[in-house]
Amino acid sequence: MLKPLHDLIEKLYSEMNPTSAVLIGIAIMLFASFLMTRLTKLAKLPNVTAYIFTGVIIGPYVLNLIKPDLIDGMDFLTDIALAFIAFGVGRFLRLEALKRGGKKILIITLFESMLASVLVFLGMYFIFGLNLEFSLLLAAIASATAPASTMMTIRQTRAKGHFVETILQVVSLDDAISLILFSVSIAIMTASHSEGAINFWHIAMPILLNLAVVVAGFISGYILHLLITTKRTTDNKLIIAIATIMLFTGVAATLGISPLLGGMAMGMAYINFSNDEGLFKQLDYFSPPILSLFYVLSGMRLDLTILLGLVGAGVAYFLIRIIGKYAGASLGSYLAKSTPENIKYLGLALIPQAGVSIGLAALGSRTLIEYGLVNEAALLTTIIIASGILYEIFGPVSAKLSLYLSGSYEVEKKPPKRPKKKLRNKSIENNE
């Protein structure tokens, strides 16, 4: 049915030079994603969902509006988008807030992230019979929480208090734990496909490299703080920040290391040394087109031909992770002797998952392809993106519910309508 359209699009692309094809392709991605947000807004769905839907519709499995070689050539967007996401997460890692939480926050984070990972691994490996590498990658990604969706909900409700502070700290730390678990799973995969048995250094070396990247990111954040002085114009601040983030991301990519942990450390160092929220707000205005392209690109990589065959595993991943997050947050809060609100409702706020998880899926897929595991790469991307859509639909709702139940905000009550005064007949008034 769509073959004539596909043939026409292929003919049009064949008559373009490469530069025109790239520019028109990017324009289509941005315009289509904007138009889709107009529709999802009516359903009160977040923009991330709109971007992913856009990628599916204009991608190779439906309208095929974007050339496959253009999709393959935009891999660099994954690293850039992840760097911006990570730098933004770092703003919530203020040392004074972490000191207030102390051991309690660490205990809660370890339990909610690790229990979700363990349950997902057991389900994927033993129940669905997926291979070890694939199950480990899914388990590592399962521990992450979407900071953007949670923050959006907090801003919309204007929620405040101890419960909100706990959410922000736990979300930031569990993304760090997810990155460490992801690095370990990648190390195990690399070792299993190399000659010889897996030894200690196969596991330790990637962790040490990531620790080195964290240190480098922290130093970069401090240097960024020195470069961005109060005398700088807002334009120059933005230029210096983007250049620093891009340089750091490029070096990390050269070393074959994810920029996420380092980017998070950079954002953490900058906010703690400078106490400057303004730069993050500037980047919030700059980054939407990049993040939009990243999510659209992820949607185009959603393989619809294998999606139906993964309904069971995808739904199981979706549900098992929710169970792990809720149970882990409740158990961790109980053992840490945290507040009753954290024990009862914190798990609901940790359900959203996109951003970091989709980025990790893209990195994991790239690694799987390098080792010839093409089918597994498609499976990983399909499960994470498909479940990501569900999380973006139900996640913000559950996060808002947790904020309401914990008493972090109150629904504004409309003042009761006053009864209208009856107008007296003027002729009667004149006669009185």
- Is 29 domain-assigned? yes
The answer to whether residues 225 and 117 belong to one domain is yes
Query: Which position has the token pair 């500037």?
Result: 282
| Per-residue confidence (pLDDT) for residue 392, from 0 to 100 | 73
Whether 429 shows a pLDDT value over 50: the answer reads no
Mean pLDDT of 305-313: 70
The answer to whether residues 257 and 127 belong to one domain is yes
Can you tell me the distance from the alpha carbon of 129 to that of 121, in angstroms, rounded to the nearest whole number? 10
Q: Which of 18, 53, 74 is the last residue of a domain?
A: 74
Burial of 9 (0-12, 13-18, 19+ CB in 10 A): middle
- Is 413 domain-assigned? no
CATH of the domain at 174: 1.20.1530.20
The answer to whether residues 43 and 105 belong to one domain is no
> Between these two residues, 423 and 52, which has the higher pLDDT value?
52
- Is 419 domain-assigned? no
Whether 72 shows a pLDDT value over 50: the answer reads yes
Query: Which position has the token pair 């979407």?
Result: 146
Whether 416 shows a pLDDT value over 60: the answer reads no
The answer to whether residues 30 and 150 belong to one domain is no
| Per-residue confidence (pLDDT) for residue 197, from 0 to 100 | 60
| Per-residue confidence (pLDDT) for residue 327, from 0 to 100 | 95
What confidence tens digit (pLDDT) does each residue in 364-394 have?
A: 888 788 777 777 788 888 888 888 778 877 8
Confidence of residue 430 (pLDDT cuts 50, 70, 90): very low
Question: Cα torsion for 299, 304, 308, 313, to the nearest 10°?
Answer: -40
| Per-residue confidence (pLDDT) for residue 415, from 0 to 100 | 54
The answer to whether residues 268 and 342 belong to one domain is yes
The answer to whether residues 303 and 397 belong to one domain is yes
Mean pLDDT of 149-164: 78
Confidence of residue 69 (pLDDT cuts 50, 70, 90): confident
The answer to whether residues 376 and 320 belong to one domain is yes
What confidence tens digit (pLDDT) does each residue in 2-13 have?
A: 677 777 777 777
The answer to whether residues 31 and 116 belong to one domain is no
The answer to whether residues 21 and 159 belong to one domain is no
The answer to whether residues 206 and 237 belong to one domain is yes
Whether 246 shows a pLDDT value over 50: the answer reads yes
| Per-residue confidence (pLDDT) for residue 428, from 0 to 100 | 44
| Per-residue confidence (pLDDT) for residue 195, from 0 to 100 | 61
Q: Give percent of the chain with pLDDT exceeding 90.
A: 24
User: What SS3 string covers 108-159?
Assistant: HHHHHHHHHHHHHHHHHHHHCCCCHHHHHHHHHHHCCCCHHHHHHHHHHHCC
> Between these two residues, 15 and 57, which has the higher pLDDT value?
57
Distance of CA 312 to the CA centre of its chain: 23
Q: Which of 42, 74, 106 is the last residue of a domain?
A: 74
The answer to whether residues 141 and 207 belong to one domain is yes
What confidence tens digit (pLDDT) does each residue in 247-256 have?
A: 999 988 887 7
Tally of structural domains, the chain: 2
Q: Residues for the chain: how many in total? A: 432
- Is 70 domain-assigned? yes
The answer to whether residues 24 and 90 belong to one domain is no
> Between these two residues, 129 and 187, which has the higher pLDDT value?
129
Whether 129 shows a pLDDT value over 90: the answer reads no
Non-local (6+) Cβ contacts of 189 within 8 A are 133, 136, 137, 367, 368, 371
Whether 186 shows a pLDDT value over 60: the answer reads yes
- Is 210 domain-assigned? yes
- Is 47 domain-assigned? yes
Q: Which of 51, 74, 97 is the last residue of a domain?
A: 74
Q: Which residues form the domain of 15?
A: 1-74
Whether 60 shows a pLDDT value over 90: the answer reads no
- Is 432 domain-assigned? no
| Per-residue confidence (pLDDT) for residue 108, from 0 to 100 | 93
Question: ∠ at Cα 262 (148, 185), nearest 5°?
Answer: 85
Can you tell me the distance from the alpha carbon of 120 to that of 320, in angstroms, rounded to the nearest whole number? 6
The predicted model scores a pTM of 0.78
- Is 429 domain-assigned? no
| Per-residue confidence (pLDDT) for residue 286, from 0 to 100 | 87
Whether 278 shows a pLDDT value over 80: the answer reads yes
What confidence tens digit (pLDDT) does each residue in 315-340 have?
A: 888 899 999 999 999 999 999 998 99
